[in-house]
Every structure is written in structure tokens, then in C-alpha cells.
Structure 1
Amino acid sequence: MTDQPLVGLEADLYAEELKRRLDALDVLCKTVEPGKRRGTNLHIHTNESFSVFRSPTEAVWQAAREGVAVFGINDHYTCAGHDEFRRACEIARLPATFSMEAIAMDREAEADGRLTNDPGNPGRTYLCAKGVTRIPPDDSVPMQNLNRIRAALDRRHRDMSQKLREFLQETAGLPGPDWDEVVALTPRGNVTERHIAKAAAIWVRNFAISRGLELAEAVPRCFHVEPTGFDEVTLQNFIRSKLLKVGGPCYVEETPEAFLSIDEMRDLFLGFGAIPTYPVLANPVTDGERDIHALMDRLESINIFALEVIPARNTKERLAEVIEAARERSWPVFNGTEHNTPSPAPLLAELSLDPDFLPWFKSSAAVLLGHHKLVANGQPGFVGAEGKPSISDAGVRLDHFV
């Protein structure tokens, strides 16, 4: 097949119709020479939250091309992309995992001003539900809590969008993008700060064209700040950092309803039949993570027995420290790349393939795949209903899944 038809098929990977996306992937996968599958990536975002990927199917196509051995979706606050991701991975014959990410609040750390795995906000703690095996009913406590968080975030993003609209009215003489324009950038209305920034970037480009201005003139005029660049990625990141973050003119603080406690978030994840997992920031080193063994002691005391890393952000020395501590306790360490920005990047980071780490990442991926399979067959997964490992003997725990 020539390059031209391939380009057309690749555009179909983010077509509006799901069948068209999957049909395009089916044809494209037949053009890939069977090769060695190398590393694992169990944490990528899709357009169901925010991502460089315009559909879960498009993400799977990159994974098929790059030889990913096990691939995992991990969107913020939603499992809406799981079905498409599953179907796409089946077409690509790619073992798949299904997860979700959310932010909890460690109230003690917040009060002490201590950072955990959010380097800019004391107490805020990212957690992942690795290996979602069920969607709880709408009237269940886990789903009610998730919907409460979503509603609080939705109100915040509406307020931010309105502030942006009014800000641009003042600076440029025209109202900025409205809420409907922001929502139109999402498949199901799961708006994030990045969608607001993207809508603003689209708006300022259109403003420049309508006024006959160069973008270099329009951006400072509209935003009152000199940009660092004008490519799409740089512009979106610039808008987000200067307008939407703390201190920016369109910033809106989250309300308490946007956060559960860590215990509550753990229970929410268990309600989804998942493994509650702590993503280690690792670099930069925060006070809450400085002593990795003390961190794991605390996690164990609240029934969290799994870690995750984003190796592209870490030094080899720090990653080695995290993985060695996990080995000592027979904890899985899942790895990924996130891909939750407009920037394209490989799915297999250099340190993900490092021979010092790859075996543990593969074993951890086997744990997650095994968790999915066992629960689907009515057997206990990696953790039980309270979050404790279903196999109490740490010495044989991971071998059960590998």
C-alpha cells in the first residue's frame, strides 16, 4: 500500500463514526510487519480526558507500529474510552489494560504544606484505579462520589471559561470562546483545563486572521503576555500556564467537593474492581516521597500495594530506588507515558526499555492482565474488597500472576 492511502486511513482513525475508526485500524494493522514486541505502557490518556491522541483507536495504532507488548488506557475521571480501546486492541492483537486516574486530597499533608506527587499543590495526590473490572451502578456510593467530583470540576471549568470569555472581551474587544465551543472539543463533555486552553488557542488564531494580524501581534494583544512560541503545543501550554493557573486572570480554585480523601478514593477504585495505585512522581523529589520506604509504609497502612512511574520524567538512579523498594515488598510497578498534552511522543520511553527495569515492568503488566482475567472468571484479583492483596504471602504473590 502506498503512503497516500495510508495517510487517508490514518485520518479515519479519528473519524466521528466508531466503525470507521476501527475498520481503518484493521486495514492499517495488516500493513505492519510482525515484529518483536518490546516494552509495556499501561498509562496513556485519550481524547476522553485530554491527549495528543484524537481517539483511543489512534493510540492503539501508534502502539502497534512501535511494538508495545502490553498497552493500557488511563483517562482522568472516566472509563468512557474503555470499550473502544478494548475493541481496537483486539484488532491489533495487543494485550490491553483498563484504568482510570483521579486526584485525592491528603488533608494532613495539605495542612502541613507537604507535597506528595503533585509538585505544586500541597496535599493533592494523584491516584490510579489500575485494572478496572466493573462499572458500579449509578446509585452506588463509588459512582455517586465520582459523579460528585465530576460535577464540581464541571462547575469550575464553566467558571474558568466564562472568565476567559470576559477577559478576551476586555483585551481584544470580542468575547472569547463560549462553553459550547469548549465542550465541542470533547467527545462526551469531560472538559479539562487543557480543553479551555485549546479553545483559546483556536480563538486567537481566528482573531488574528479576522483582523489581518500576525499571530505574534495578536497573542500579546489578547493575552497581555509575550508568548514563548507560536506552534500549537507551545501556544496551548502558554495560555494554560499564564491564564488558567494560580495567579492567572482566569484561574478558579477547586471547591472541596472536587476532592475525596485518599481513603475515600481508594474505596471508589475498589468499587470499580481495580487495584488502588500510587503514581510516584520520583523527580522532582518531594517531601512526601523523599523516603520511599516511609512512603510505602504509609501506603500499606491504608491498603495501597502498587506503584506507578512515568520513566521519561525520572532519572535512572531515582527509578532504580523506587523499583528496588517495590521488589523488596513484591509490589507491582506499572509504567507509562501519560500522553496527556498536545505533544506527540514515543510510547516506549528509554528507561522503560532499560534492562534493569524492563523485567519488573513486564512482571507488573502480567499482574494487571492477570487481575483482569481472574476477576472476569469470578476469582479474586490482585487485591480483595478492602484493598489488601488476595495472596498474603508476598514471596509468591507476583508469581501467581506471571
Structure 2
Amino acid sequence: MTSESIFNQYPEERKLLAETVDVSQNILQVNGHFHTPYSFSAFSEIIQVFEMAKKEEVKVLGINDFYTTDGYTEFNERAKQFNIFPLFNIEFMALQKDLQAQGVRVNDPNNPGRTYFSGKGLKYPVELNAEMVERLLRVQDESNRQTGEMIDKLNAWLKELGEDFVFSFQAMREQYAKNLLRERHIAKALREAAAKKYTSEEDQKAFFEKLFDGKAPKSAMSDFAGLENEIRGNLLKSGGKAFVPEDDKAFLSLEQVIELIVQAGGIPCYPVLLDNPKGEFTDFEGDYEKLYESLVDKKVYSLELIPGRNKPEILEEFVNFFNEKGFVITFGTEHNTPALDPITVYGGDGNPLSDNLKQIGYEGACIIAAHQYLLAKGKEGFLNAYGTAKLDRRKEFIAIGHAAIQHFVH
């Protein structure tokens, strides 16, 4: 597949703006954050995302794989094929050791200091210097090393139980992954192997109860997503027989992650966890004003949320607070479990987002689209040379991005 940017045939800015109508007259559906098989995903192939998006009339899609841009080339080509505008994003797990030492939970509710962090609108084709490439490959290798050790421990536990399952890192990666083999792949492979060997539901339940050291599974054997989550929780998480703690080498510092994102042409973006089903917040996110100050202190002016896990009234309040501060805000579905949910973004109550949130999310996507377009044209994007966002030019970037998206989808 070719790696030619979609912007190569785009007109210059003045002509592009002359082609389009006002943004408020045409708010398009966006999904700005989902994972593909290049990390772990509900999708079997990238084309599946676009087929669903076309059916659901989602016009802007944002790939957001962990630690890798390997899916970008195919994502770019499918975008051309389906006339759906592509946002080139990436995600990392960083470690803020100062917050870890203080016991502060950021956006991982179980691991103080651990911080999920995204880069939005990377330049495509990706350009990284040698140091940044080495940094990216190092976290990929460390992630694969940890997964390999988990497989070894799983094999030892299966042998102890008298089971004849034997898994290998290489075979599992070839069947289930592209490059990165993750904990979720192990859970899927184990579930499928069990279903193949034990054909009755009762036998499968008995197997998992034995595997979980006497703890009966709560999920139905037909609930693949629930069962795989139980496998992860009982075997692969802390205290589980196949658990392998992550080495600090598996994480970059947040500063290193931000540096890598900016060097790749992206916009640093904080993924917000917000409220859990009990209405609880992490230490880092509970005070909106303090969160705002912390993010601005690190030159982070972009947020993303997965509305399906939040109460609509809390989501609305939070988004309005940061939108009024000028932040770039986008929404997505993640799709990093086996459950094949719609590609359309819905709220935590299962209903569509409000018109207000749809507009805010679309405007956020427009700013990222404008950033990508301007970088491809050899100009400065939404960040200045010092990595500071041009918040005072939001409307200008929204107009350019809206024009860029309209030009592509029509």
C-alpha cells in the first residue's frame, strides 16, 4: 500500500476555505479514538471499522493504537477508499513517578502514577528522529517481553493443573496480533483454546473454575468479553498465577511521551477517565480547576473522553468547563475489548450525545484536521514552536479543519 498523504492533492488554504459552508450548518459524526488489531481491538481488520462507519454515517475516524503507528498506512488507504476523514493518533502508558510515590491515581484507577496519554493529529507519513524511534521501539520490546513472561507462567500453571494446553509467544502473535502481543490477546487465545477442547458449557465452566484456583466464573460461556475480562482479572492481574509485574523500563515518563508526540507532529492529549459506575473520580481528576492547572502547566490543551462510560450530566458539566477554557475536546469508543459495539459514540445511558457535545466533539476534530493539513503543507500547526497551543486562534483552526474534512468526504 502507498503511504501518500491524503493532503497531497489538497488546494491551498484560501481556495479550500472558499469551497465550504459554515461549520455550524454541518456537524458531522466523529469517532476520534478507537484501537485496531495493531494493538488490541474488537475489530478483526481495519476495513471493518470503515464498513461500520459508512453504515452508521460516521464521517471522521481517529486511529489510536498503543505504542505504534504501524496501522497508519492501511488506515490512510481505507480512508481514501471510503471517503472518511482520518485522524492519525497514538496512545502510551506513561509513569509519573512523583505521583506514584504520593499514591495519586491519575487515569488508571488501580495504579498510582500510571498515566494513559495520547497524541492527536500526528504528521503522516510519520517522521521521527533516531532517538524517538529508539524510544518507541524500546517500549514495544518491553511490552512484548512482559507478555512473553506471562505466557510462560500461564503454561506452567496449566501444566500444574494437568492440562495439555501449551502456548508460544510467536504462534500467538502470528495468530492474534500484528506486532504487539498484549495481555488481552492471551485472554482471547486461552478462551478459544478452552472452547475448542471442552465442547459443553459445563465442562468449560469446570475448567475455568479450576484455572481460577477454585473461583467459579461469573460470565456466561457465550459472553466472550466478560469471560476474557475474568481471565485477565483472575490470571493476568496482580495476584494471578500468570501475573508479571511491569518493569519501570516498560514506561516512558510523561515528559518523554509528550516530547515524542510533539516531535512526531502531534498534539499532546490527556484521556479523561472521569466518573466510574459508582460516581467516583480519581485523585487527579476530582477537582476540575486543579486538573486544568496541572494540564496547562505541562502544555497540554487537548482532552479526549469515552462517553459510553460516563454519566451524561457529569460528562456535560466537565466538557463545558474545559471547552470554555478553550481546550480541544474529542470523543471516541476505544473498542479495546472483544465487544463489537457501534462505532457511533453514545453516552453512558446508551443515548446519543447531546447536540452541544456533538458540536464540541466535531470542532475538536476540526482543529486536529486543520493541524494535520497545515503540517502537510509545510506550515506550523495548532502548536507554536514552543509547543504552546494557539488557543486564541481556535475559530480559525475550526474553519480550516471543517473545510479540510468537507473537501475530503465530499
TM-score (ref. length: structure 1): 0.86
Which runs of no fewer than 5 residues in structure 1 stay unpaired?
A: 1-17, 20-35
Match of 2:308 among 312, 320, 338: 312
Asked if residue 321 in structure 1 is aligned to residue 317 in structure 2, the reply is yes
Distance 1:344 1:188, change over 3 A: closer
Shift of 1:114: 0.8
Match of 1:254 among 236, 240, 246: 246
Q: Which amino acid aligns with 1:235?
A: L
Deviation digits for residues 42-96 of structure 1 (CA, Å, limit 9, x no counterpart): 1011111111101111111111111112111111111111111111121111111
Deviation digits for residues 311-355 of structure 1 (CA, Å, limit 9, x no counterpart): 111112221222122222211101100000000111223336311
| Equivalence for 2:387 | 387
Distance 1:373 1:212, change over 3 A: closer
| Equivalence for 1:4 | none
| Equivalence for 1:32 | none
Match of 2:114 among 109, 115, 124: 124
Shift of 1:214: 2.8
| Equivalence for 1:230 | 221
Tell me, in whole angstroms, the C-alpha distance in 2 between the residues paired with 1:39 and 1:196: 34
| Equivalence for 1:357 | 357
Match of 1:221 among 194, 210, 214: 210
Shift of 1:259: 0.9
SS at match of 1:260: coil
The farther-off stretch of 183-192 and 62-71 is 183-192
Asked if residue 136 in structure 1 is aligned to residue 133 in structure 2, the reply is no
8 Å Cα contact 1:39/1:353 also seen in 2 = no
| Equivalence for 1:83 | 73
| Equivalence for 1:67 | 57
How many residue pairs were aligned?
Answer: 366
| Equivalence for 1:300 | 296
Deviation digits for residues 3-49 of structure 1 (CA, Å, limit 9, x no counterpart): xxxxxxxxxxxxxxx89xxxxxxxxxxxxxxxx98521010111111
The farther-off stretch of 270-279 and 347-356 is 347-356
8 Å Cα contact 2:37/2:178 also seen in 1 = no
Distance 1:142 1:322, change over 3 A: farther
Tell me, in whole angstroms, the C-alpha distance in 1 between the residues paired with 2:364 and 2:201: 55
Shift of 1:168: 0.6
Tell me, in whole angstroms, the C-alpha distance in 2 between the residues paired with 1:206 and 1:348: 33
| Equivalence for 2:369 | 369
Distance 1:252 1:96, change over 3 A: same
In percent, how many aligned pairs have the same letter?
31
Tell me, in whole angstroms, the C-alpha distance in 2 between the residues paired with 1:269 and 1:222: 41
Shift of 1:217: 2.7
| Equivalence for 2:160 | 170
Shift of 1:175: 4.3
Deviation digits for residues 125-150 of structure 1 (CA, Å, limit 9, x no counterpart): 1100111114234x622211111111
Shift of 1:393: 2.5
| Equivalence for 2:340 | 344
Tell me, in whole angstroms, the C-alpha distance in 2 between the residues paired with 1:241 and 1:288: 24
| Equivalence for 1:273 | 265
| Equivalence for 2:330 | 334
Q: Which amino acid aligns with 1:381?
A: G
Asked if residue 263 in structure 1 is aligned to residue 255 in structure 2, the reply is yes
8 Å Cα contact 2:274/2:310 also seen in 1 = yes
| Equivalence for 1:147 | 137
The farther-off stretch of 372-381 and 86-95 is 86-95
The ranges of structure 1 where at least 4 consecutive aligned residues each deviate by more than 3 angstroms after the TM superposition are: 394-402
Tell me, in whole angstroms, the C-alpha distance in 1 between the residues paired with 2:192 and 2:162: 15
Distance 1:236 1:378, change over 3 A: same
Shift of 1:399: 4.5
SS at match of 1:348: coil
Shift of 1:278: 0.2
Shift of 1:201: 1.1
SS at match of 1:188: coil
Shift of 1:185: 3.0
Tell me, in whole angstroms, the C-alpha distance in 1 between the residues paired with 2:394 and 2:227: 50
SS at match of 2:210: helix
| Equivalence for 1:202 | 192
8 Å Cα contact 1:116/1:287 also seen in 2 = yes
TM-score (ref. length: structure 2): 0.84
CA RMSD of aligned residues (A): 2.2
Tell me, in whole angstroms, the C-alpha distance in 1 between the residues paired with 2:312 and 2:163: 50
Tell me, in whole angstroms, the C-alpha distance in 2 between the residues paired with 1:265 and 1:321: 29
Match of 1:41 among 17, 31, 36: 31
8 Å Cα contact 1:160/1:252 also seen in 2 = yes
Deviation digits for residues 135-171 of structure 1 (CA, Å, limit 9, x no counterpart): 234x622211111111111111110010001111111
Shift of 1:188: 2.5
- Which structure's relative contact order is higher, taking Cα pairs within 8 Å and 6+ residues apart? 2
Which runs of no fewer than 5 residues in structure 2 stay unpaired?
A: 3-25, 403-410
Tell me, in whole angstroms, the C-alpha distance in 1 between the residues paired with 2:166 and 2:331: 39
Shift of 1:385: 4.5
Tell me, in whole angstroms, the C-alpha distance in 1 between the residues paired with 2:202 and 2:308: 38
8 Å Cα contact 1:136/1:143 also seen in 2 = no
